Amino acid sequence: YFPMSTDDQLRFPDGFLWGAATAAYQIEGGADAEGKGPSIWDTFSHTPGKVFHGDNGDVACDSFHRYGEDIALLKRLGVGSYRLSLSWPRIQPTGRGEVNAKGLDYYNRVIDGLVEAGIEPSVTLYHWDLPQALQDAGGWANRDIADWFGEFAAIAGEAFGDRVSRWITLNEPWVVAHVGYRDGRHAPGIQDPALAVAANHHLLLAHGNAVSALRASSAAPVGITLNLTVERPVTPEAAAHAAVLEARQNGVYLDPIFHGRYPELLDGDASFSPAAAGHVRDGDFEIIGAPLDFLGVNFYAPHYVGMLHADGEPRRGETVTGPDTVSIQPDGLPITAMNWLVEPGSIRELLTRIVAPVTGALPVYITENGSSWHDYVTQDGQVNDLERIAYLRGHLAAVHGAIADGVPVKGYFAWSLLDNFEWAEGYAKRFGLVYVDFATQERLLKRSGEVYASIVAANALPKA
Ligand code: GBH
């Protein structure tokens, strides 16, 4: 417990790390600048019909050229850390062998700029932009990628390891495997459960190899970022279904990393368990279980799980998710522009019920949390994003609650610093604390950005 509240504010622990996050493909642009090779997101976004409005990341927020403005915005927010990711094909154009010195130069400029500004670089090695040449060799479905990724991690560790404050090997491996190879809504756009379950296992092996490679070249703490789900059953019979959904998303990553096995609940399910699908070889769990310094958690919204009515017809607010289950949007909860629920208590539930029992005393960082709304600039030149402010305050209060419960949450990174390329949604969905006019690349701090800056400065959340 810590001296955490007065009548009018919730104080965060001393040294709590405040941050903001982005990802390379979502902000950089410079798609073929200075020797960068193509990534699967270049290919996917240039394939008609894949991304809303035909948008792509060729220019994005042009951070390849405007990173200095981004750093100035981070200073205005007053954050202690910036979470950015490296574009693998900017550094290794074909993903193997040859290193593009100009790619390293770009990240050296960014990292040096951050350090000079007193902002700790928190660097994600992989946030979804795989070199296309590796996809052509099978991508995450090819077990060899564990070695390719280990080499890339070694290159990054040697180049930047002296100035990076913390490393994150992978961003959301569940999304990479499930959305990239099962649903196909993300690059590489494959719909094949067998490849998805293979990717799940190879992502974990790659993560383990990266941890070792980073340990050899950098003293900075190393972790992984998982997007964990909270599945809330609305009836007693739905509880078993909710547990399976959590095992398929949380257990398949938490259990191998922290317990050296895949979830028992999925035993025999070759469509979701890499063990059942026969991918596990001797020694794999030793690689996957390499000790970590922290766990990164991304969280946006909970899910409510109910049983499909006997007549097989979904009711209002229900979406059929299986032979006898539905996902429910309960009445009375706000819904973001992404159609995601707003229920701040769910992040506290995630941390106390799901994370802490697995990670114990290991430090936890919220590496992404945020929301998308229909932001616009008013005539007097402001973005009055009151919904984002409410979301931010609600979730920070809930994180504070989790800390009071004893969960060692050491920091919080808002998603995102900037409005940016929101994957399959293109530029239509804005998550930034900073508004970006994509026609002019002008950046404008939203009211949520001002509120975040005041929370960061106070290391406390006003209760009002
Ligand atoms: C993160 O992914 C990404 O790391 C980041 O790049 C991205 O910009 C950001 O989120 C915003 O999307 O079943 O309708 O409730 C988050 C991916 C979001 C995937 C929540 C599962 C559930 C949608 N996850 N989503 S729903």
User: Tens of pLDDT along 49-64?
Assistant: 999 999 999 999 999 9
CA 341 / ligand 1 centre spacing (Å) = 12
Average pLDDT taken over every residue of the chain: 97
Residue 7 banded pLDDT, cuts 50, 70, 90: low
DSSP string, 153-207: HHHHHHHHTTT-SEEEEEE-HHIIIIIIIII-SSTT----HHHHHHHHHHHHHHH
At residue 1, the pLDDT reads 47
**Are 372 and 428 within 8 A, CB to CB?**
no
Instruction: Find out whether 415 is annotated in a ligand binding site.
Output: yes
Pocket of ligand 1 (CB under 6 A): 23, 26, 171-172, 175, 227, 298, 300-301, 303, 339-340, 368, 415, 422, 431
**Are 228 and 300 within 8 A, CB to CB?**
no
At residue 464, the pLDDT reads 67
Residue 203 has pLDDT above 60, yes or no: yes
Cα separation, 281 vs 270, whole angstroms: 15
Percentage of residues in the chain having pLDDT higher than 90: 98
Which atom of ligand 1 is least distant from the CA of 171?
Answer: 4
Q: Name every residue whose Cβ is closer than 8 Å to that of residue 142 and which is 6 or more positions away in sequence.
A: 202
Q: Shortest CA distance to 412 belongs to which of 463, 330, 351?
A: 351
- Reported ipTM: the value is 0.93
At residue 146, the pLDDT reads 99
At residue 340, the pLDDT reads 98
CA 367 / ligand 1 centre spacing (Å) = 13
Residue 315 banded pLDDT, cuts 50, 70, 90: very high
CA 162 / ligand 1 centre spacing (Å) = 31
Task: Supply φ then ψ for residue 224, to 5 degrees.
Answer: -135, 150
Token pair for residue 402?
């989790």
Residue 3 has pLDDT above 80, yes or no: no
Q: Give pLDDT tens digits for 68-108.
A: 999 999 999 999 999 999 999 999 999 999 999 999 999 99
Known catalytic residue at 264: no
At residue 463, the pLDDT reads 79
Of the CA atoms within 13 Å of residue 19, those in its CB half-sphere come to 27
Residue 2 has pLDDT above 80, yes or no: no
Pairing mode, if any, of strands 17-21 and 81-85? parallel
Helix (H) or strand (E) holding 125: strand 120-126
Alpha-carbon separation of residue 439 from 5, 45, 60, 160 (angstroms): 44, 19, 10, 33
At residue 8, the pLDDT reads 84
Q: Give pLDDT tens digits for 113-141.
A: 999 999 999 999 999 999 999 999 999 99
